Chains A and B, each alone.
Chain A
Amino acid sequence: MPVPTASQYTSPRSESLDAILARFDEIERKSGARSIAVAVYDTETHASFHRNGNRWFHAASTIKVAILVGVYASIHHGWLLPQSRLHVRNRFFGAVDGSPYRVLADRDANSEVHSAIGKMMRITELALHMIATSSNLATNLLLDLVGLETVQRSLDELRIDGIDIRRGVEDEHAFEQGINNRVTADGLSQLLRVIAEERAFSPQLSRNMLEILHAQEFKQGIPARLPRAVRVAHKTGDISTVAHDAGVVYPPGRKPYVIAVLTEWSPSDSGRSATIAEVSHAVYDLLTTTDGGARG
């Protein structure tokens, strides 16, 4: 299939947008999801659209993008160096009463960080593990180092609304008390947009963060039904009641677009990743159609 040139792309027509929003309704209905939220921003045409964009969801592991930003903000401000080393220790303090807790190795997707307990790892290595394999231990180590306030302040500095960080991951006591990290599709989309447009602190630091997001190993969501040539820098998030994926999609021959797909489910529901992949595919189809989505 010939790749369209950048100038051939135009904003989706309003009838195309209506059609894709209807398509989202249909996907939600068919999937059995309790709710689906989608936010899209196209850096090629500057078009944006969303469905339930302001609805709050449990963030699951998508909060790690915000923590990544907090870490790179600390590098930007000179508080950390990328090569700074950090003691790997599995002991954190809960958000409710400060009681200690650990990240259980068998609930963590990454064993490499666990095997480094007692030793040190570089900040950038931990950031990579936090995103690429969603290491919960790496996440808590980085959050413990930079602090919740730094992360939230970094989001404020970038003028991001719709991301509310309140604790580390695997803090079961806080979960039981309803103290959770929350995101909206719009919030994640805004954050990924400033990274994609290289406005997150500096072009170089933005590129560094994108490189880490490109290393994502869980590809069952946004990239699953896209052509192989399409690169995606993204972060997934999955717990019993939510499944999310948010990222920057790079179709060949055009500028990237940002997409956040947040979904909420009953614990027994299946088909989560397939649903995210279907939404992603529909958005890709719309934005890469050269006539502005007339096919929609």
Chain B
Amino acid sequence: MEARVGESFRFPLSVIDGIRLEKPLRDVLLPGRIVYDDSGHARRLPRYFYEIPSWEQAMKVQLSPSFALWEFIQTDVREAAPLRGFPRYIPCAITLLAASLERFREAVGTFVHIAANGGYRSPRHALSVNATTHCWGTAVNIYRIGDMYLDDRESIERYAALARQVLPGAWTRPFGNTRGQTDDHLHLDVGYVLSMPRGAPERSLGFSAERRAV
């Protein structure tokens, strides 16, 4: 966010309607599709994405004063092949996540490190199980804060409590080593947020202008 006072900031990434992408990309992003969470509740996956043209661009774009776009798209060989190259796509809610994380960053007072595979993951990422919020671009796995690795109960629970305090409504995964728990990072998410920015392509709204005018 480098816009100077009095100068309007223009977000440099285009908004893309996922259902208009090429089939190989639709097959891994599953835009607008229904998936089920661990409790069996239906959740609709994001349909609108920011298009990231290159790694260089991901390095340049600041989503908040402390978090750049690249930090949210570090996925390994387990990510679906079409999303290992560029252009790459990330749900529009990522900006809301970054704003929330900035608040958390201010509260901890030091660097917050997002793990590889710990930002956005597609529904076809090998580690994406059921409706994980990572597929909404609304979750992060934090493995280190400042110089401290979050790999024990004390550090994970301490920062989880702080996150819930400064981000009302945020969810943190409980400590433990069974399914649904965590013992080597802090999982923090802001829920199944769907975001459709004002820049979303008009044709993609799915209904006519006449209908909208009524």
A89 touches B77 (CB 8 A): no
The reply to whether the CB of A91 lies closer than 8 angstroms to some CB of chain B is yes
Task: Name 18 extra pairs, CB < 8 A, besides A89-B184, A118-B143, A119-B115.
Answer: A84-B77, A85-B76, A87-B117, A89-B115, A90-B151, A90-B184, A91-B183, A91-B184, A100-B183, A102-B184, A118-B113, A118-B115, A118-B144, A118-B149, A119-B116, A120-B74, A120-B76, A145-B77
The reply to whether the CB of B8 lies closer than 8 angstroms to some CB of chain A is no
B116 touches A120 (CB 8 A): yes
B77 touches A118 (CB 8 A): no
Tell me the dominant secondary structure on chain B's binding face: loop
B143 touches A80 (CB 8 A): no
Q: Which chain A residue shows the least CB distance to B184?
A: A91
The reply to whether the CB of A117 lies closer than 8 angstroms to some CB of chain B is yes
Q: B185 to nearest A CB, angstroms?
A: 8
The reply to whether the CB of B177 lies closer than 8 angstroms to some CB of chain A is yes
B183 touches A87 (CB 8 A): no
A-B contact pairs, 20 of them (CB 8 A): A84-B76, A84-B77, A85-B77, A85-B116, A86-B77, A87-B76, A87-B116, A88-B116, A89-B184, A91-B184, A99-B177, A100-B177, A100-B183, A118-B118, A118-B144, A118-B149, A119-B74, A120-B74, A120-B116, A123-B77
Residues from chain A with Cβ under 8 Å of B115 in the complex? 87, 89, 118-119
Chain B contacts with A in 94-131, Cβ cutoff 8 A = 113, 115-118
Chain A contacts with B in 72-93, Cβ cutoff 8 A = 80-81, 84-91
Residues of chain A at the chain B interface (Cβ within 8 Å): 80-81, 84-91, 99-100, 102, 117-120, 123, 145
A80 touches B183 (CB 8 A): no
Residues from chain A with Cβ under 8 Å of B74 in the complex? 119-120
Chain B contacts with A in 40-96, Cβ cutoff 8 A = 74, 76-78
Residues from chain B with Cβ under 8 Å of A81 in the complex? 77
Beyond A87-B116, A87-B117, A100-B177, is A117–B77 a contact (Cβ under 8 Å)?
no
Q: B79 to nearest A CB, angstroms?
A: 10
Residues from chain A with Cβ under 8 Å of B113 in the complex? 118
A90–B183 alpha-carbon span in the complex (Å): 10
Residues from chain A with Cβ under 8 Å of B144 in the complex? 118
Q: A278 to nearest B CB, angstroms?
A: 43
A32–B76 alpha-carbon span in the complex (Å): 48
A88–B77 alpha-carbon span in the complex (Å): 12
A88–B116 alpha-carbon span in the complex (Å): 8
Residues from chain A with Cβ under 8 Å of B116 in the complex? 85, 87-88, 118-120
A80–B76 alpha-carbon span in the complex (Å): 11
Q: Which chain B residue shows the least CB distance to A83?
A: B77
B184 touches A86 (CB 8 A): no
Contact mask for chain B residues 152-184; partner A; CB cutoff 8 A; 1 contact, 0 none: 000000000000000000000000010000011
Residues from chain B with Cβ under 8 Å of A99 in the complex? 177
Residues from chain B with Cβ under 8 Å of A91 in the complex? 183-184
Q: Which chain B residue shows the least CB distance to A118?
A: B143
Residues from chain B with Cβ under 8 Å of A86 in the complex? 76-77
Residues from chain B with Cβ under 8 Å of A89 in the complex? 115, 184
Q: B76 to nearest A CB, angstroms?
A: 5
A102–B151 alpha-carbon span in the complex (Å): 11
